[in-house]
Amino acid sequence: MITSIINPPFNSAPTGGSTCARPAATKRAQFTNRRFPQVLLSAGDSASHWGSCRKAPNVLYVWSGKESHLLAFVFALGAPEPWTRSWRGRAICVSGGTIRLVSSSPPDPLDFRTVQRAYDTVAEDYATHLPDTRAEAPLDLAMVDAFAEAVTSGGDPQVLDAGCGAGRMSRYLTGRGCLVQGVDLSSRMVAMARRDHRDLVFTVCSLTDLPYPDDRFAGVMLWYSIIHTPPAGQARIFAEATRVLRPGGHLLVGFQSGEGTRDLARAYRQFGHEIELQRHLYPADQVAAQLEAAGLREVCRLVRRAQGVERDDQAFLLAAQ
Ligand SMILES: C[S@@+](CC[C@H](N)C(=O)[O-])C[C@H]1O[C@@H](n2cnc3c(N)ncnc32)[C@H](O)[C@@H]1O
């Protein structure tokens, strides 16, 4: 079903490249070529995109009147219409000289294919640029230390680093006496973890479907690994983490605190990657309620203000079974 036509049919005849000065929200697309795609879609904070699109000819703006940011833009490189590409759970359709934003069914909160693709793409750079806990503030690590202490105070301190990425936090926990193994959705991230931490075991799987029996771990850590899951998908992740947690076991979750989403495409573009990746912010109270609904009790939490290059406040919740 077509929900909104975000610009009218184009009447202009093909001529050369368009200029890309930033339009006002109401400005119509400048269109210079009736044969558009090969199309590249991008979106997010406008600043970086305007920077790059200014250099490109034949840029067609798709501008959302409601939002203050650029919704999408299309580089017209000359392939024939009609053309459709899914984008952020919707579809951009180009046909008959009209661009339409088409609704599809609401995005499945547990469909992680885009996240997986994104991390497969950036894995090597992620491992290179974030090999350890240099990005963590001392307060953040104090929460990890409290988690490690709680886990190691009993016997058999088996810990699951759930959404381990390239394994840097697995290493940190190992250094604090935990017996760690990691899981991650991205096979390339897991490959980096195996390469850099040969003594540890890493497995490719989703947080929503952990390949472990009930009551397996004394601790489960979700360190910035729920951040790509929309709020509607969180319950499943926390239920699965709770399932593999022993009675008396501990769960630590770290995430950006707030509301809404952030587009990470721009951050990775500086490393030469064109990916689609968003992260979600959650109010700490909401995550605490989800943990409680999963059968855990909150032990403590830390919410600290953003510092340095961070854009958002950071939150850490320690809960117990
Ligand atoms: C921001 S990175 C954090 C990685 C690691 N915890 C760290 O601190 O370096 C997010 C990681 O979560 C993983 N991830 C996201 N959703 C996942 C899911 N549903 N199942 C498993 N891993 C997931 C991603 O593949 C990625 O490696």
Question: pLDDT, tens digit, for every residue of 114-157?
Answer: 999 999 999 999 999 999 999 999 999 999 999 999 999 998 99
- Residue 7 binned pLDDT confidence (cut-offs 50, 70, 90): very low
pLDDT above 90 (res 110): no
Query: Given its phi and psi angles, is residue 92 left (phi above 0), alpha (psi -120 to 50 degrees) or beta?
Result: beta
Does residue 115's CB lie within 6 angstroms of at least one atom of ligand 1?
Answer: yes
Which CATH homologous superfamily contains domain 113-320? Vaccinia Virus protein VP39 (3.40.50.150)
What tokens appear for 299 in the block? 């032990």
Quote the ligand 1 centre to 84 CA distance (angstroms): 30
Which amino acid residue places its CA nearest to atom 1 of ligand 1? 224
Section 46-69 average pLDDT: 38
| Positions of CATH 3.40.50.150 in the chain | 113-320
Question: pLDDT, tens digit, for every residue of 286-299?
Answer: 999 999 999 999 99
Quote the ligand 1 centre to 41 CA distance (angstroms): 24
Quote the pTM value.
0.73
CA-based nearest residue to 78, from 119, 33, 42, 48: 33
pLDDT above 50 (res 11): no
Does residue 158's CB lie within 6 angstroms of at least one atom of ligand 1?
Answer: no
Residue 26 φ/ψ, nearest 5 degrees: -95, -5
**Amino acid at residue number 79:** A
Question: pLDDT, tens digit, for every residue of 186-205?
Answer: 999 999 999 999 999 999 99
Q: Judge contact between 313 and 284, C-beta under 8 A.
A: no
pLDDT of residue 304: 98
Give me the DSSP letters along 258-276.
SSSEEE-HHHHHTTT----
Instruction: Tell me which residue has tokens 């799987």.
Output: 205
**Amino acid at residue number 305:** R
Q: Whole-angstrom Cα distance, residue 146 to residue 241?
A: 19
- Beta strand pairing call for 217-223 and 245-257: parallel
Quote the ligand 1 centre to 81 CA distance (angstroms): 37
Most confident of 26-40, 42-56, 258-272: 258-272
